[in-house]
Chain A
Amino acid sequence: MRPLAALRLATSSLKAHKLRSALTILGIIIGVASVITMVAIGQGARQQIEEQVRALGTNVVMLLPGFNRSGPVRSSSGGTPLTDRDAAAIARRVSGVEVAAPIRQGSAQLIYAGRNWSSTVVGSTADIFVARDLTLAEGRKFSDRESRSPAKVAIIGQTVVKELFAGASPLGQTIRVNRVPMKVVGVLEAKGQNAMGQDQDDTVLVPLKAAQSRLLGGRSRGAGEVNMIAIKARRASLVGQVQTEVDALMRERQRLRPDQEAGFAVRSLSELMAVRTQTTNTMTGLLGAIASVALVVGGIGIMNIMLVSVTERTREIGLRMAVGARPEDILLQFLTEAGLLALIGGVIGVLLALALSLAIAQFAGWSVSIDPAIVLVSLLFSGGVGVVFGFYPARKAARLNPIEALRHD
């Protein structure tokens, strides 16, 4: 039998049972559409993270206290906490370092003209502008004198401007940060969310000493302690070397024996993001796997309907064999039917997935990314599902004995 004849037979038999065919196709549509949509959501999330990593710059290294620390600053192993002197030493002694910005940060309650807003206060030096790629929208940075002293000046992010000043110019105004009056000297350019989904514009930048002694005091007041040090290598290719040297320098400064576990960690930002990307990949895989179940269920639907069809048409099969059909012809006829069901479902499923992804992007605001490869794979997969699940019923038909099939009722 020629392929065209098989296709004609298949379409006419699908048309003969419209509702049944439509329901079977629906199963495949749901399967294909959910696979593509789920994977599109997962890939969208990953792409967003990758973009954020790229925006952060790949040549930034973070020096952090041990991860299982008990307090915000102190390291778990009882090792020495990080201080601004460590940052200075790194900037001076590690080659390939552009800046090393000590960071002391914590939450802060902001008040201005009766408006209240809780935000993150970040104490650092002017180097933070380089380390974090910050730019000023208006106003000025801290002066050298302000950087070295607990000066009561602040540079605020766009979210803070919006929440406290409702659009009015904040320059020269005094806001209260944890009850301490601070004068706004600058406003940061908007940066959007970071890879962790935090609003990077919801921040108040103050001189390091101001954060340490006035705003985020507590136990370590005056000790020069910081939460982390953001180190920027001169080039991306130097990141590995900087990491190693910072590690060695810090071990030396903290007088650790070679076998002793360090109470700090040196991480490149891309390493931190890699963990996050991994999680997203796992999520994508999981979503895809769950959706694939729907596709397999759709395939079982095809198998079911094909088995019914073979049983119903046993006499027809016998007759076709009696007038010269070979077993391969019968196999081809039923496989074509199953494949056609799957393919129609696949194509409609792809279209539905495109519409769904657009709708999700539009209304939920998630970023989605449809990979043409995934569309192709889903189409092939659904065609495969049709052939695989159609094969058993088709072979069953092809193996019928002509005379028994003819006598069937």
Chain B
Amino acid sequence: MSEPLIRCRDLTKHFRMGSEVVRALDGVSLDIARGEFVAIMGPSGSGKSTLMTMIGALDTPTSGDIIIDGTALAEASPSALADLRGRTIGFVFQQFNLLSRLSALDNVAMPQIYRRDAVADLRGKAIDCLKRVGLGDRMHHLPSEMSGGQQQRVAIARALVNDPLILLADEPTGALDSRTGAEVIALFQALNREGITIILVTHDAQVARAARRILRFRDGRIVADDVNTDVWTPAPSAA
């Protein structure tokens, strides 16, 4: 491995709350190579989500540099950042963030309308992604007609629709029971085997054991960076 896919150097993020300054990130340096599966753990408020939004180019650090797939975020234009968010990175949120008016298929297809390149059969690609997460038979359901686990899988299909290099998942199982959570984790492992780099934030030690590398956060810093030798592999469920 020469160049890491994700490189963070001395990242800080300060939030001003009245007269007080919250140091959400306080000097984080981190390299993640192509194809890694990294879990991030740590108490609430330790800066995990803040790091995810920085890597996801949704927010900018107070200081420090982020380079993703050779692109330095600080120097990138708004349009290049939009491209990065749409094409290189797929985001999965704890609260799914599906659009309630749209069917599962339309939710998955949503990122496609912002692509600037001409792609043949966008629709077919969206359908393939839904099938990939095991929802080929739920394409025309509205989010309100699906279970939490199904909604999260729609959100994952949406994150996959533009073939990202990186999947960022911030507590994706936080709103799910352990059985459906395990299904989602099995899906992530399968995706990782196909080469997608995954960063997963979780409170659940069992879920974290699905990754081969576990980072621990405290007060905006990385306090541990361990290799996980005891990888948990939940049985892939029939959808």
Q: Do A and B come from one complex?
A: yes
Asked if B149 is at the interface (CB within 8 A of a chain A CB), the reply is no
> Known interface pairs A12-B101, A326-B79, A406-B97. Does A320 touch B114 (Cβ–Cβ under 8 Å)?
yes
Query: Per-residue 0/1 for A337-362: is the Cβ within 8 Å of any B Cβ (1 yes, 0 no)?
Result: 00000000000000000000000000
Asked if B7 is at the interface of the complex by the 8 Å CB criterion, the answer is: no
Q: Is B110 an interface residue (CB 8 A)?
A: yes
Task: Name B's interface SS.
Answer: helix
Q: In the complex, what distance in Å separates the CA atom of A2 from the CA atom of B116?
A: 9
- Cα of A316 to Cα of B93 in the assembled complex, Å: 13
Is A324 a contact partner of B115 (Cβ separation < 8 A)? Answer: yes
Q: Which of B56, B78, B99, B162 contacts A322 (CB 8 A)?
A: B56
Which of B59, B97, B114 has a CB less than 8 Å from the CB of A326? B114
Which one, B59, B82, B97, B158, contacts A403 given CB within 8 A? B59
Q: Can you list, as one digit per residue, whether each of B84-99 has a CB less than 8 Å from chain A (1) or not (0)?
A: 0111000101000101
Check B113 for interface membership: any CB of A closer than 8 A: yes
Residue of A nearest to B79 (CB): A326
B114 is contacted by which of A13, A323, A401, A402 (Cβ under 8 Å)? A323
Size band of the B side of the interface?
Answer: 20 to 34
Chain A residues 1-16 with CB under 8 Å of chain B are: 1-2, 5, 9, 12-13, 16
Nearest to A16 among chain B residues (CB) is B101
Establish whether residues A406 and B110, one from each chain, have CB atoms under 8 Å apart when the complex forms: no
Say which residue of A12, A324, A327 sits within 8 Å of B85 (CB atoms). A324
Contact A322 B113, beta carbon cutoff 8 Å: no
From A315, which residue of chain B is reached at the shortest CB distance? B97
B53 interface contact, C-beta 8 A: yes
How far is B78's CA from A174's CA once the two chains are assembled, in angstroms? 96
In the complex, chain A residues whose CB is within 8 Å of the CB of B111:
323-324
Task: Check A326 against B87 for contact (C-beta < 8 Å).
Answer: no
Quick one: which of A16, A322, A327, A406 has the most chain B CB within 10 A?
A322
Give the residues from 372 to 409 in chain A that come closer than 8 angstroms, CB to CB, to chain B: 401-403, 406
Contacts of A329 in B (CB 8 A): 82, 114
Q: How many pairs of A and B residues are in contact by the CB < 8 Å rule?
A: 59
Q: Kindly state whether residue A321 has any CB partner on chain B within 8 Å.
A: yes
Question: Which residue on B lies nearest to A316, using beta carbons?
Answer: B99
Instruction: Find out whether the CB atom of B59 lies under 8 angstroms from the CB atom of A323.
Output: no
Given A316-B99, A402-B58, A403-B58, residue A321 in contact with residue B113 (CB < 8 A)? no
The 8 A CB mask of B44-79 against A (1 = contact, 0 = none) is: 000000000100101100000000000000000011
- Answer whether A324 and B97 are a contact pair too, CB < 8 Å, given A402-B59, A403-B59: no
Cβ of A56 < 8 Å from any Cβ of B? no
Measured CA separation A16–B101 after assembly (Å) = 8
Q: How far is the CA of A325 from the CA of B85 in the complex (A)?
A: 8
Interchain CB contact under 8 A, A326 and B53: no
Contact partners of A322 in chain B: CB under 8 A: 56, 58, 85, 91, 97
What are 30 residue pairs bridging A and B, where the CB atoms are less than 8 Å apart in the complex? A2-B113, A5-B113, A9-B113, A13-B101, A315-B97, A316-B99, A319-B97, A319-B99, A320-B110, A320-B114, A321-B58, A321-B85, A322-B56, A322-B91, A323-B86, A323-B91, A323-B110, A324-B82, A324-B83, A324-B87, A325-B82, A325-B86, A325-B114, A326-B78, A326-B114, A327-B78, A329-B114, A403-B53, A403-B58, A406-B93
Given contacts A9-B113, A323-B110, A402-B59, 19 further A-B contacts (CB under 8 A): A2-B113, A316-B99, A319-B99, A321-B58, A322-B91, A322-B97, A323-B86, A323-B91, A323-B114, A323-B158, A324-B111, A324-B162, A325-B86, A326-B78, A326-B114, A327-B82, A329-B82, A402-B85, A403-B53
Query: Which B positions have Cβ atoms within 8 angstroms of A?
Result: 53, 56, 58-59, 78-79, 82-83, 85-87, 91, 93, 97, 99, 101, 110-111, 113-115, 158, 162
